[in-house]
Chains A and B, each alone.
Chain A
Amino acid sequence: MLAPYDPRLPSGPPLAVPTAEHRLGTNDLGQDVLSHVIHGARGALIVAVVVALISTALSWMVGLAAGFLRPVEAPLMALCDLLLALPSIPLYLLIATLVGPSRRNLILMLALLSWPGFARVVRSIVIQARSAPHVEAARCLGATDARIVYHHLLPSTLNVLPTKLILTVRFAVFAEATLAFLGLAQSGTVSWGTMLSQAFSDPLLFSRPVWPWLVLPPCLAIMALILATTWLSSGLDSSQGVIG
C-alpha cells in the first residue's frame, strides 16, 4: 500500500546506498529497506495491539476472580507467583523455539505470559473495594453477589486498565523486537527486529559503507513507536491523575 516495493522480493542491487529508487537503500538480498520499515510497522502494531488486548483482558478477569471468589484465589495467586518468578527471556526462547515463532504463536505466548503482574494490581483493588462502605451498604440492602461485582467492584478497577493497555503495548513491542533480534521470527516475516538480526548476522557489517542504512532505520522506528507509547501514557496519567 504505502510501501514502494514488495519487501519480500529483491528489487535492486544488494547492499546499495540510498538512491532515488530506494530511499533508504537495499539490504543484503537487494530488498528495499524503506518498504521493510513500513511493513515492519504493521507487524509491530498488530502484535502489540493484540497482545495488549488479550493480556489486559486476562489480567482483569483473573484479578477480579481472585479478588472476589475465595476458592480460586489461592491457586490463581500461586500461578501468578510462579510466572512472575520465572525469568522471562529464557522462558520465551524455550517456548518460541518449541512451538515455532510464527506471528500467531508469538502473540499467544506473549499474551498468555504477561498478565500476572497486573492481575495482582486488580485483585488488590478489588480487595480494597470489597470492604469499602458503599459495598457494605449494598450488601446490607440485600444486593446479590453478581450485582455487587457488576455495579460496585467492577467500575473501581476500570480506570487502571488504560495504563495496563499502554504498558503492554510497549512490552510487546520490546519483546517482539528482542525475540526477532535473537533470531526468533518466522522466515519471511518482515519486522524491525528481523531487519536488525539480518544486519547483525553479517560479520563484515560495519566494514560496509551501507551499514547506517541497515542499522539505523529499524532502530529509529522502534524508538519512535516506544516514545509514542510513553507520551501517550504520560498524557493519560496527567489527564486522569493516575500515578503509573
Chain B
Amino acid sequence: MIVRGELPRLTMRYLLLAVAVVLLNFFIPRLLPGNPLTGSAGDGLDVAAPLSAVAQEQLRAYYHLDEPMNGQLASYLSDLVHGDLGWSISRPAPVAALLVARLPWTLGLLLSALLISAVAGTALGVLAGWFPGRGRDRLLISVTAALSAIPEFLIAIGLLLAFAIGLEWFPLLGGRSVFPDFGSGVAGSARQILDIGWHLTLPATTLVLASAAGFLLIARDATAAVQSEPWLVVARAKGLPERQIALGHVLPNIALPLLTFFALRLGAVLGGALVVERVFGVPGLGLLAFEAIRARDYPVLQALFLLSSLGVLVVNFGTELVYLRLDRRRGPRLG
C-alpha cells in the first residue's frame, strides 16, 4: 500500500533531482574552464586532431554557442525533448544513435551482473550469518573484504590473466567472435547467443565479484541480527525446516536494507561496467566513452553522463516505490 502523501513527496523529489541533472549537464561544460572546440584545456589528450577554424565555427553555430545563455538553454531543452543529443565530433553519426547502438551491451552486462551478485551475495550472506562467528562466516567475510579492496579493473585483469591467457577457457577480448559462422535458423541464433554469453562471462564475473561483497555483508549482518528474534524462535519451535525459515521468515525481514543497497550499487556497478569493458574490449558504452575521451568527443561524454544519471534516478525512484510497498511498518503509522 503506498501511503498517501508519501508518493507525491517522492515524485517531487525525484523530479527535482532529474531537473537538476539536466541543468547540470547544460552548465558543466559552460562553467568549467577550458574550451572544447579549441581543446585549450585538454593537455595530454593529443590523439584528437585539432579542429579547423571553419569546423569550429560550424560547431559553434550548431550547438548555438554563439547565442546568449538563455537562448542556449532553450535550444538545449527543446533538442533534449526531441531526443536530439547532438552530433558526435569524432564519428559521422548522431550521439543518440551511437548510444542506442552500444546500450544493449552495457545494459546486459550491468543487469546480469547486478542480479547475479544480488542473489548470490544474499544467499551467501544468509549462510554466513546463520551461524555468526563460525568458520564459514569468518572465511566468507575475509574473502569479501579482500575482494572489495581491489578495484574492478584489477579484478578484470586478474581474471583475464587466469582464464583467458592461462587456461584459455574464455576469449581474450571482444563481445562476439570476429568471423562468425553460426549457420542459420534457430540453431544458428542459439549458437550466436551462446557466443555472446561466452564472451561476456569474464566481464560479468568481474562485476559480480566486485559487487557481491556488499550484498553479502549486509545480508550477513541482518541475518545475524535476527537470529535471536522471538518470531524466529517460534518458527524453530514449530519445527519448520531451516530452509523454510530462511526463505519464508528471514528473507522478507532482511529484504529492505538489501533493496536500498541494490539501488545504491547501481551507479557504482555502472562505473565498473564502463571500466571492465575497456579491459575486455566489450563494444558497449564504456568502450565508446574510452574512444570518446581519446578523440575529445564531448557530446558523447555529455550524453553518457545525462543518460546514466537519469537511468540511475529512474531505478532509484522505482526502488523507493517498491520499498514503500514492502515496508509494512510504515502503513499504520502514516496512513
Interface size on B, residues (CB 8 A): 54
Task: Select from chain A the residue with minimum beta-carbon distance to B291.
Answer: A183
B172 at the interface (CB under 8 A from A): yes
- B residues touching A (Cβ–Cβ < 8 Å)? 17, 20-21, 24, 28-29, 32-34, 36, 41-46, 145, 149-154, 157-158, 161, 165, 172, 266-268, 270-272, 274-275, 278-279, 289-290, 292-294, 296, 298, 301-302, 304-305, 308-309, 312-313, 316
A137 at the interface (CB under 8 A from B): no
Which residues of chain A in 172-211 are interfacial with respect to chain B, using CB atoms and an 8 Å cutoff?
174, 177-178, 181-189, 196, 200, 206
| Most A-side CB within 10 Å, residue of B157, B268, B275 | B157
A97 close to B296 (CB less than 8 A): yes
- Grouping DSSP codes into helix (H, G, I), strand (E, B) and loop, the A interface class, with mixed when no group exceeds half, is helix
Interface footprint category on A: 35 or more
B45 close to A90 (CB less than 8 A): no
Q: Given A102-B43, A182-B290, A187-B43, are A90 and B153 neighbors across the interface (CB < 8 Å)?
A: no
| Most A-side CB within 10 Å, residue of B36, B152, B153, B272 | B153
Task: Select from chain B the residue with minimum beta-carbon distance to A229.
Answer: B149
A230 at the interface (CB under 8 A from B): yes
A61 at the interface (CB under 8 A from B): no
B154 close to A90 (CB less than 8 A): no
Contact string, A81-94, partner B, CB cutoff 8 A, digits 1/0? Answer: 11001111111011
The smallest beta-carbon distance between B130 and chain A, in angstroms, is: 21
Of A81, A91, A97, A100, which contacts B298 at CB under 8 A? A97
A89 close to B275 (CB less than 8 A): yes
B301 close to A93 (CB less than 8 A): yes
| A residues less than 8 Å from B289 (CB atoms) | 90, 93, 182
Contact string, A216-228, partner B, CB cutoff 8 A, digits 1/0? Answer: 0001001100110
A3 at the interface (CB under 8 A from B): no
| B residues less than 8 Å from A141 (CB atoms) | none
| A residues less than 8 Å from B267 (CB atoms) | 85-88
Q: Given A94-B302, A94-B304, are A87 and B275 neighbors across the interface (CB < 8 Å)?
A: no
B34 close to A87 (CB less than 8 A): no
A1 at the interface (CB under 8 A from B): no
Task: Select from chain A the residue with minimum beta-carbon distance to B263.
Answer: A85
A90 close to B43 (CB less than 8 A): no
Please report the C-alpha to C-alpha distance between residue A219 and residue B155 in the assembled complex, in whole angstroms: 10
